[in-house]
Amino acid sequence: MKILLVGEYREGQLQGCTCELLGFARQMKAEPVMFLVGDAADLPAFDGRLYLAEAGRYGEFSPEVHQQLVLEVVEKESPDLVVLSHSSYGWDLAPRLAAALEAAQISEAVAVADGAFEVPACNAKLRRTVRPATARGVVTLQAGAFDPAPAGGTPEVQTVDSAVEAAGAVEFLGYEAAEQAGVDLGKAEVIVSAGRGIGKPENIGMIADLAKALGGEYGASRPVVDAGWADHDRQVGSTGQTVAPRLYMACGISGAVQHLMGMKKSDFIVAVNSDRDAPIGEVADVLVVADLKEFVPAFMTTIQG
Ligand SMILES: Cc1cc2nc3c(=O)[nH]c(=O)nc-3n(C[C@H](O)[C@H](O)[C@H](O)COP(=O)(O)OP(=O)(O)OC[C@H]3O[C@@H](n4cnc5c(N)ncnc54)[C@H](O)[C@@H]3O)c2cc1C
């Protein structure tokens, strides 16, 4: 199978999701061929072909132009799949490419097996398995669903030289960060999170105290937020914040996939759970099998003493 990956570059930097695209190609056992609007000073490290279109010339975010550039590479490479990240860049570009190529478009793939893709359905409560009904497919990958390929190697760069010009319907003005309300967990080096296992809202206090004692912030799983025990800006997961602190402590959190998506890139994960078989144990570096109501106060006493 031939795959063309469409890498991402933003505000002068290669985006991390580009490594997840490479991880996908690796999982598919396909030779990585990538198209990137970027800069020669910040290239992805892999062994394979890289079609590089200079961002300075073609614009960092110019869907009409980028669509034409990708189509030119598709013409040369004739891939079976064109693969992008499920990001604002991918949402914009993937449907344009699919329409131009008359190819099936599959959004937000989370897994792949035998040429079929698993995608979330029913507000992510179920997964649907789909296969492109056309010879060629355009697929976007959910962030975090595919392990990034380890960086290594030097791509064989082919500079894209195209006469394509902006059609003028869309003019890119710049990026504007969304206003950050409340706490920004993304900046915390330590996060102690409360799950449904805390049992009652009053127990948020001991989780917050432990987070403070460790010099960090407290987070929460979705049921804790839905119950009104913590504000939404504390929620970690697919519909909350994505975090990667040096230490993540999950207290009374089972480890549902939607929660893991938000924290599995943490450097060191400690889980406190009364159930030794809780799925969080699969990603935890240390699993403390204990009642958190006993463990957390005892741990506090130890670190303060
Ligand atoms: C579209 C969609 C988006 C979602 N987005 C998110 C999201 O962003 N973030 C998120 O977290 N979830 C999200 N969810 C919900 C997710 O599927 C799970 O339901 C949720 O993560 C479970 O939260 P939990 O682990 O706190 O609770 P539970 O799954 O109920 O787990 C509680 C855990 O606490 C343990 N426990 C109980 N008592 C104690 C005790 N005394 N001491 C120690 N351990 C104890 C139990 O063994 C259990 O493992 C989403 C779901 C959907 C459908």
pLDDT digits 0-9 by tens, 216-261: 999 999 999 999 999 999 999 988 888 989 999 999 999 998 899 8
Share of the chain above pLDDT 70, in %: 97
| Residue 113 pLDDT | 86
Protein residue with least CA distance to atom 9, ligand 1: 237
Q: What is the DSSP secondary structure assignment for residue 36, as one 8-state letter?
A: E
Q: Which helix (H) or strand (E) holds 289?
A: strand 286-289
- 6 CA distance to ligand 1 centroid (A)? 34
Q: Which helix (H) or strand (E) holds 127?
A: strand 126-130
70 close to 82: Cβ distance less than 8 angstroms: yes
Protein residue with least CA distance to atom 3, ligand 1: 239
* Phi, psi dihedrals of residue 190, rounded to the nearest 5°: -130, 130
* Residue 153 pLDDT class (50, 70, 90 cuts): very high
* Residue 16 pLDDT class (50, 70, 90 cuts): confident
54 close to 60: Cβ distance less than 8 angstroms: no
CA atoms within 13 A on the CB side of 140: 21
Q: What is the mean pLDDT of residues 41-56?
A: 95
Lowest-pLDDT range of 152-156, 181-185, 263-267: 181-185
Give the bridge partners for 116, in sequence order. Answer: 113
For residue 142, pLDDT over 90 is answered with: no
3-state secondary structure of 208: helix
pLDDT digits 0-9 by tens, 265-288: 899 999 999 999 999 999 999 999
CA distances from 18 to 53, 81, 234 (A): 15, 16, 27
| Residue 176 pLDDT | 85
- 228 CA distance to ligand 1 centroid (A)? 14
Protein residue with least CA distance to atom 27, ligand 1: 196
Return the structure tokens found at 95: 């449907």
CA distances from 142 to 85, 122, 242 (A): 7, 16, 13
> What are the residue ranges spanned by the domains of the chain?
3-159, 185-304
Gap between the Cα atoms of 287 and 283, Å rounded: 9
Domain range 185-304, CATH class: alpha beta
Protein residue with least CA distance to atom 48, ligand 1: 254
3-state secondary structure of 8: coil
- In one-letter notation, the amino acid at residue 229 is W
- Topology alike, domains 3-159 and 185-304: yes
pTM, two decimal places: 0.68
* Residue 124 pLDDT class (50, 70, 90 cuts): low
- 212 CA distance to ligand 1 centroid (A)? 23
| Residue 182 pLDDT | 79
277 close to 254: Cβ distance less than 8 angstroms: no
- 253 CA distance to ligand 1 centroid (A)? 5
Determine the atom of ligand 1 nearest the C-alpha atom of 255.
25
Return the structure tokens found at 279: 């799925």
Protein residue with least CA distance to atom 5, ligand 1: 239
* Superfamily of the domain at 3-159: HUPs (3.40.50.620)
Name every protein residue with a CB atom under 6 angstroms from any ligand 1 atom: 123-125, 195-197, 221-223, 235-240, 252-254, 256, 258-259, 262, 272-275, 278, 291-293
- 167 CA distance to ligand 1 centroid (A)? 48
Determine the atom of ligand 1 nearest the C-alpha atom of 221.
11
* Phi, psi dihedrals of residue 34, rounded to the nearest 5°: -125, 145
